[in-house]
Amino acid sequence: MPGHYPIGRQIPLPPGKRWVVGDIHGCHKTFLSLLDKIRLTADDQLFLLGDFINKGPNSLKVLKEIIEFKGAVLPLLGNHDKMFLDFYQDPTPDKLEILRKLNLSDLLDADTSTQEQMARFIQSLPYYYISGDVILVHAGFNFDADDIFSDTEAMIMIKAFSYDPKKASGLSIVHGHYPTPLEQIQKSIDGHSKVIPLDNGCVYQGNLQGIGNLLGLELNAMKLVVQPNVDQT
C-alpha cells in the first residue's frame, strides 16, 4: 500500500468548542456514552488521541464509528493503531499472535475489503495536530532532540518526557498513551500544567484505583468530562 503517514497538521480554530478524547481501545459503547455527554454541535471539533483498537471488545466498531462520524472529527495515530497497520503491510505469525492476544480478532477476522479500508484509514492519520496554543499528540515528544517534531516514534511511544517551553514554542501538550489516575489528570488541568495527560485507562476499569474512565477535555474552558467504562458491564 503506497504512501506515508502525514506528520502533523495545524488546524484552524472552530467557531464552537474543541473537544479532546483519550485512548478508546475498542470501548465502543463507552465512546458513544461519552459523546452523548459531550453533545457536539456542528460548530465543534472533536480530536481523538489515537489507540482506537486492541484490548477492548469492539475495535472494528470504534474504527467504523470514527470513519462514519458526522462532524469535524480529527483522529491521531496511536501505537496500537500502527501495530495493525504494520501487520497488514507485512503479516507474520508473530505479529498475528500478538494482535490476537490483544483482543483484535474482530478486525483480524474481517473480510479483505474491510481490513484494507481500516488500514488505509490508519495510514492517513497524522502524528500530531496544533490547535491554537495546544499540541495534540498520542504519547508525547522527545525533548532531547533538537527538533521535537522530527522524532515520530516518540510521538506514539514515549512514556516520559521533560517539557521544554523553547522547543515547544510555549505551546501546551495534551496527550494520551499512558494510563494516569484521574486525580492526577484533574490536578494538571487545575494547575494549568503545560503537559496534560488524558488517558485514564478506560479498558482497565476495576484493576487500579483512579483508573477506568474515558475522558473528554474541552480545550476552551478546560472542562473535563468523565465517562466510566460501560463495555465491561
- The mean-pLDDT minimum among 111-120, 204-213, 216-225 falls in 204-213
Provide the pLDDT for residue 41.
95
Q: How confident is the model at residue 233 (pLDDT cuts 50, 70, 90)?
A: low
Better-predicted residue by pLDDT, 157 or 70 = 157
Q: How confident is the model at residue 71 (pLDDT cuts 50, 70, 90)?
A: confident
Q: What φ, ψ does residue 200 adopt, rounded to 5°?
A: -105, 20
Query: What mean pLDDT comes out for the span 169-192?
Result: 98
pTM over 0.85: yes
- State pLDDT tens for residues 22-65: 999 999 999 999 999 999 999 999 999 999 999 999 999 999 99
Q: Cβ distance 66 to 46 under 8 Å? A: no
- State pLDDT tens for residues 90-99: 999 999 999 9
CATH 3.40.50.1220 fits 14-228, yes or no: no
